[in-house]
Structure 1
Amino acid sequence: MRAGARLLLSPISFQVIPGDRIGLVGRNGAGKTTLTRILAGEGLPAGGEVTRTGQLGYLPQDPRDGDLHVLARDRILSARGLDRVIVKMRDLEEQMSATTGAEREAAMTAYSKAEAQFVAAGGYGAESEAHRIAANLSLPDRVLAEPLQNLSGGQRRRIELARILFSGADTLLLDEPTNHLDADSITWLRDFLKTYPGALIMISHDVGLLEATVNKVFHLDANRAEIDVYSMGWKLYLKQRETDEKRRRRERANAEKKAAQLMLQADKLGAKATKAAAAHNMQRRAERMLGGLEAEREADKVASIRFPEPAPVGKVPLMAEGLSKSYGSLEIFTGIDLAIDKGSKVVILGLNGAGKTTMLRILAGVEESDTGRLIPGHGLRVGYFAQEHDLIDLSSSVLDNMVASAPNMNATECRKVLGSFLFTGDDVDKPARVLSGGEKTRLALAMLVVSSANLLLLDEPTNNLDPASREEVLKAIASYTGAIVLVTHDAGAVDALDPDRVLLLPDGDEDLWSQDYRDIVALA
């Protein structure tokens, strides 16, 4: 497996069988998402082949657009082909009520056939099962009745997760399935996956989910371009991996010591013409001894993240008055007022679907409110980190995205900043569309760093990040002196922010921050 000239994965063979629940882990950029795309048939390996049997359900990190006019409920049911039958039955019901005589009889006959097909595919029991899965992912009936275009990115991704889980596929490939889930939904998902009868390969940074579900771990080592297979649960894997590392270090130290002694002896013998052949043999033996060692794992590189020094700004960088937003018949929030003071720290809380992401998009000027207005303060510069990374131009390269976001920097300066975010060499020329979720997060953060923003709007900035990169983001949040408005399910991010105020959606109530609110961060 390759990314440009860079080798992501040396040749490897493995088999996945029913009952395998595999955690695919490794640092951001190691190639986990690329591997799952290849396994799902949405990408090709540089060599080798993938053989698939049975039905496969694939949840990518980024929601697929598809037909956004489809009802959310029908999108879930499409996993078993029930959506087409239901649409046909609805049409025939309308025909039966609008016609008479022979035409009505024909519609009734067709309806009976369609209903028999519906029952054969699981029928009303399957429809009830789909609704139950959706409800456990915080998708109530009122959301299921809406077309996908009326839903937020997070809701659409949960619809896609519900669809994959409802499919009953023989093998599930899940890339960060807990993104956009609240605490109750994550707990339910753990129980669902623990007893899943098929096979499962899952990428996740949720240690609790991995600990509760997986019985095998595939560690994709970015430095060695290899997969280490551990046929054990998460806790045993952590212990075994540490044991393996100690063994590698011990074996390498012993071999290097013996090789050094051989080389020293070879040097002594080499001074004598009669001992040249023996000296040469000793050198070759020392080289073979070192060459047969397993490569020692290097420490994973971590992006160095520091948010920009904020540009000068007035006392109140941004005010919002009377903001309202609806999507079709779905009212999100109404009459929201908000004043963001210079250097203030605000966290937005609300249940899934309460409009947190929509509020940030309006404040960022990416989306318009139905009513109300924004009043920018003197010198306002907004830096917006979008949860769906929709400000990244997927058709442009990593470097071109960076240059576009930093008009006062040249390409060489942009390359230097990208290097600190682990985009080096040919990586900067890759089209953004091939980046993993973690890589897109790093690119979006790099674009923020060069923005000189004095107001950061951050929507789930720790999603898709490995633990080390997440810690870097938390440090950057804690040290930033400008104003921040934060949406997150990560209580650690809120702790780093140390907020002054909280905005509760959809009601729009503002309050001074207290630790009582921290308990509902993961639930919101």
Structure 2
Amino acid sequence: MIYMQINGLSKSFGSEEIFSNIKMEIKDQDRVAIVGRNGTGKSTLLKIIAGELSYDEGEIIKPKDLTIGYLAQHMELESGKTIWDEMIEVFQPLLEMEKRLRILEQKMEQATSMSPQSYEKLLKEYDELLHKYQSDGGYIYESEIKAVLNGLQFQHYDYDTPISELSGGQKTRLALGKLLLLKPNLLILDEPTNHLDIDTLSWLENYLLNYPGAIVIVSHDRYFLDKIVKIVYEISRKKMTKYYGTYSKYLEQKAVALEKQLKEYEKQQEEIRHMEEFIQRNIVRASTTKRAQSRRKQLEKMERMEKPVGSEASARFSFQIERRSGNDVLKMDDVAFRYEGESKDLFQNISLRVNRGDRIAIVGPNGAGKTTLLKLIIGKEVPANGVIQLGTNVQIGYYDQEQAELSSNKSVLNELWDDYPTMNERDIRTILGNFLFSGDDVLKEVHTLSGGEKARLALAKLMMKKANLLILDEPTNHLDIDSKEVLEEALLDYPGTIIFVSHDRYFINKITSQVAELRTDELRVYLGDYDYYIEKKREEEEIALLENKEIENKKKESNQKGSYEREKQIQSEMRKKKRRAEQLERDIERLEKEIAEVEELMTKPEVYEDHMKALEMNEKLEQLKQEADTMLEEWTELQEELS
């Protein structure tokens, strides 16, 4: 089923055209990514699809009953309700059904004053409503809410916590959770992986893989895209191109298509050159002039191909060092940290050895203290315990994910020039040009820049420092995929040492030689990339399961070593329980026959037309069912004990 058909869509802001003639199709169960540079209009297109923004030309065709859910890039759930009350609001129709069912049950208890026809009508309404309640998830919606809240790392929160007390990132996660519970036909997500740690990302991936509707995503997380999407639409130079497959497949197809277009263009250019030479040589000869004129007409009618253009301009930079550090770059021994006024350490017993050339990724859940650990290394925070020692000739360059190092009231040009006043303006402009700040862009004030532009400016400042130890806190945040790839290449060629925090698993895989997992009581180091770290974590979990099973088995063996008399007593009790279970089976079978007989009698006119008889039979039926339920419950408990 086609959920949405987009034909010839165009959008401009004032005189600036964002994109034109966009064509797109979204079907049930589609998993679609929209990719492109920052500023190409990806978020704008999502807003148009979601119905939150108008468009200039084209048409959008969709079914009237299509439900759409949209998570904006910087969306926060603002509400005066508690976490639980906000989530359960999604299931308001079920709550209304519950109220109606309770009302009907109360009426059924007072059935003595009803006519048989009214009672029959009441029973029918109750049965139909109960069936709808069950089929719509009436018995599982609370567990669904808890599963989503746990997956989004709210399991340690009191669900009665007011949403107004949560941080911005927590409100964004909660907005995502509410959207997932709503289960719209078309789910539109703009950068859904922002504010999510690696564990939450993995949960979200698995949730979306089983999502019942269609999904359209804008994301710079390549690992996430490769896991989820099957169709990629690229916006480049205001046009859109469709590719089938994962993000990695899209890159391969794009490269192959460009190579093919170049070959076709070159072939046509060669053909044109030959025709032009033939015309030039033969147009003046009487014997060949007709052939030359014919070729000229062919050439004039030929539909000439435009030269294929590759990717749009990319940033170009590299990280160099002013001087080489000693082999021992950093030592941390038994480090602990505690916020002022807190009674408990954020983390403790943290030890780490860093050698020259190491590339260490620090991972862990949100709130574990990863950024704080980096600030301890650079001296912005002071440890409560332990020793942090930098090696000989170590020069630190720090990238702050909040870009607090940037001066908001300065221009882009002065942000760099003020730090290096002896350099001439041309050289500063050249450096900024390498980070895609050209012309009048360098005169923009820092506070007017987008997140991606601020990130590039911060990287430019970092490059200028020529430090031999880079401390990077979420360096890929706000960068588009192309800029991430340029940063990766620059870091791979960097001759110094890198310690970084990131939730970008693709980036970690590409850069790191070690993964250090921060826990409350240790920093555990895994020698390898992210995939290796995940593999070792699985092995550890499997070993832990085996060890737990072994402990349980030993406990069972120990419990089984009782005295001979105790064994005899246990066997005797088991035999009694078995006999009781067999008796219950016979009694339940007898009661089920009686229930069937009473239900059969209640269908006969002489019963349901006689109000007193109907009431008597109904009471008897309820009594038999209650007796059967009690026996079934006892039988179930016995079966569990006997198994």
TM-score w.r.t. the length of structure 2 is 0.57
Shift of 1:453: 4.6
Residues 261 and 484 (structure 1), Cα distance of their counterparts in 2 relative to 1, 3 Å cut? closer
1:306 Cα shift? 2.0
**Does 241-250 or 194-203 show the bigger shift?**
241-250
Matched, 1:259 2:272: yes
Q: Where does residue 177 of structure 2 map in the other structure? A: 162
The range that moved more, 231-240 or 194-203, is: 231-240
Question: Match for residue 192 of structure 1?
Answer: 207
Residue deviations 1:97-136, cap 9 Å, x none? Answer: xxxxxxxxxxxxxxxxxxxxxx9x9999545423211222
Native 8 Å contact 2:76 2:172 kept in 1: no
Tell whether the 8 Å contact from 2:361 to 2:508 is kept in structure 1 after alignment.
no
CA spacing shift, 1:420–1:240, aligned 2, 3 Å = closer
> How far does the alpha carbon of each residue in 1:290-324 deviate from its partner, in whole angstroms, 9 at most, with x for none?
53x36524145443232353589999899897521
Q: Distance in 1 between matches of 2:348 and 2:438?
A: 47
Matched residue count: 480
1:485 to 499, 520, 523: 499
Once the two structures are superposed, residues 435-485 of structure 1 have per-residue CA deviations (whole angstroms, 9 ceiling, x without a partner) of 776555434322322345555321233456566644543343345455543
* Distance in 2 separating the partners of 1:400 and 1:170: 49
Mark the CA change 1:38 to 1:438 in structure 2 (over 3 Å): closer, same or farther: farther
Matched-pair contact (CA < 8 Å) for 1:383–1:454: yes
Task: Give 1:173's aligned residue.
Answer: 188
Relative distance call for 1:341 and 1:196 in structure 2 (3 A) is closer
Shift of 1:520: 3.6
In 1, distance between residues paired with 2:506 and 2:361?
11
Aligned residue for 2:459? 445
The 1:215/1:433 distance shift into structure 2, 3 A limit, reads farther
In 1, Cα distance between equivalents of 2:422 and 2:510: 34
Check the 8 A contact 1:24/1:32 in 2, yes or no: yes
Match of 1:303 in 2: 315
**Greater per-residue helix proportion:** 2
Q: Tell me what 2:429 maps to.
A: 415
Number of the residue aligned with 2:578: none
Q: Residue 33 of structure 2 aligns to a residue in which SS? A: strand
Q: Secondary structure at the match of 2:318?
A: coil
Query: 1:218 Cα shift?
Result: 1.0
Letter in 1 for 2:145: A
Cα drift, residue 20 of structure 1: 3.4
| Equivalent residue number for residue 139 of structure 1 | 154
Q: Is the 8 A contact 1:133 1:162 kept in 2?
A: yes
- Note if contact 1:477-1:497 (Cα within 8 Å) is conserved in structure 2: no
Q: How big is the shift at 1:181?
A: 4.5
Alignment map for 1:218-233 (pairs within 5 Å): 218-222=233-237, 225-230=238-243
Q: 2:602 matched to which residue of 1? A: none
In structure 2, the CA distance between the partners of 1:324 and 1:29, relative to structure 1 (3 Å rule), is same
After superposition, the Cα gap between the structure-2 partners of 1:149 and 1:504, relative to the gap in structure 1 and judged at 3 Å, is farther
Quickly say closer, same or farther: Cα 1:358–1:72, change in 2 above 3 A: farther
Matched residue of 2:189: which SS?
A: strand
On the 8 A contact 1:458/1:486 being kept in 2, the answer is yes
Write the distance in 1 (CA, Å) between the matches of 2:158 and 2:422: 44
Q: Does 1:201 align with 2:216?
A: yes
CA distance in 2, matches of 1:246, 1:231: 18
1:55-94 residue pairs with structure 2 within 5 A? 55-61=67-73, 63-64=74-75, 67=78, 80=90
Secondary structure in structure 1 of the residue aligned to 2:157: helix
Q: 1:107 is matched with which residue? A: none
Task: Tell me which amino acid in the other structure corresponds to 1:350.
Answer: G
Alignment partners' CA distance in 2, 1:376 and 1:408:
33
Offset at 1:397? 6.7
Does structure 2 conserve the Cα–Cα contact (< 8 Å) formed by 1:218 and 1:227?
yes
SS state of the match for residue 142, structure 1?
A: coil
Cα pair 2:221 2:506 within 8 Å, conserved: no
Q: Is the 8 A contact 2:512 2:528 kept in 1?
A: no
Structure 1: distance between partners of 2:158 and 2:182: 20
Amino acid at match of 2:70: Y
The answer (yes or no) to whether the contact 2:223–2:506 under 8 Å persists in 1 is no
Residue correspondence of structure 1 range 372-383 to structure 2 within 5 A: 383=397
Question: Residue deviations 1:122-179, cap 9 Å, x none?
Answer: 9995454232112223432427666678767765553343233233234322234345
Alignment of 1:366-515 (within 5 A): 383-387=397-401, 412-425=426-439, 428=442, 441-453=455-467, 455-462=469-476, 469-480=483-494, 484-489=498-503, 490=505, 493=508, 496-498=511-513, 502=516, 504-507=518-521, 509-510=522-523, 514-515=527-528
The alignment partner of 2:321 has SS state of: coil
The change in CA–CA distance for 1:207 and 1:311 in structure 2 (over 3 A counts) is closer
Residue matched to 2:98: none
Within a 5 Å distance, the mapping from 1:286-365 to structure 2 comes to: 286=299, 289-291=302-304, 293=305, 296-309=308-321, 322-325=336-339, 333-334=346-347, 345=358, 347-360=361-374
8 Å CA contact 1:317–1:342 kept in 2: the answer is yes
Q: Any conservation in 2 of the 1:325–1:334 contact (CA below 8 Å)?
A: no
8 Å CA contact retained: 1:491, 1:521: no
Secondary structure at the aligned position of 1:325 is classed as coil
Q: For residue 276 of structure 1, report the CA deviation from its aligned partner.
A: 10
Secondary structure (helix, strand or coil) at the match of 2:19 reads coil
Question: What is the distance in 1 between the residues matched to 2:442 and 2:53?
Answer: 21
Q: Secondary structure of 1:418's match? A: helix
Alignment partners' CA distance in 2, 1:235 and 1:152: 35
Corresponding residue of 1:102 = none
Indicate the SS of the match to 1:11. Answer: strand
Correspondence for 1:10: 20
Q: Which residue of 1 aligns with 2:548?
A: none
The alpha carbon displacement at 1:227 in A equals 0.7
Amino acid at match of 2:20: S
Structure 1 pair 342–19 and aligned structure 2 pair: CA distance change class (3 A) = closer
- Residues 270 and 75 (structure 1), Cα distance of their counterparts in 2 relative to 1, 3 Å cut: farther
Measured against aligned partners, the alpha-carbon deviations of 1:60-82 in whole angstroms (never above 9, x if no partner) come to 44x4467599765566567x497
Query: For 1:42-53, what aligned pairs fall within 5 Å after superposition?
Result: none
CA distance in 2, matches of 1:166, 1:228: 32
Aligned-partner Cα distance in 2 for 1:39–1:434: 27
Which protein has greater RCO, CA pairs closer than 8 Å, 6+ apart? Answer: 1
CA distance in 2, matches of 1:59, 1:433: 25
CA 1:26–1:273: 2 relative to 1, 3 Å = farther
Structure number, greater radius of gyration: 2
User: Which TM-score applies when normalising by structure 1?
Assistant: 0.67
> Residues 241 and 362 from structure 1, CA distance in 2 versus in 1: closer, same or farther, beyond 3 angstroms?
same
Cα drift, residue 414 of structure 1: 3.7
The one of 18, 23, 27 aligned to 2:33: 23
1:353 aligned counterpart, secondary structure? coil
Change (3 A) 1:299 1:334: closer
Whether the aligned pair in 2 keeps the contact of 1:59 and 1:175 (CA below 8 Å) is yes
- Alpha-carbon distance change, 337 to 60 in structure 1, aligned in 2, over 3 angstroms: same
* Identity score, percent: 32
Report matched runs for 1:103-114 at 5 Å.
none
Query: 1:231, 1:496 → 2: CA distance?
Result: 28
1:185 and 1:174 map into 2 onto residues whose CA distance is 16
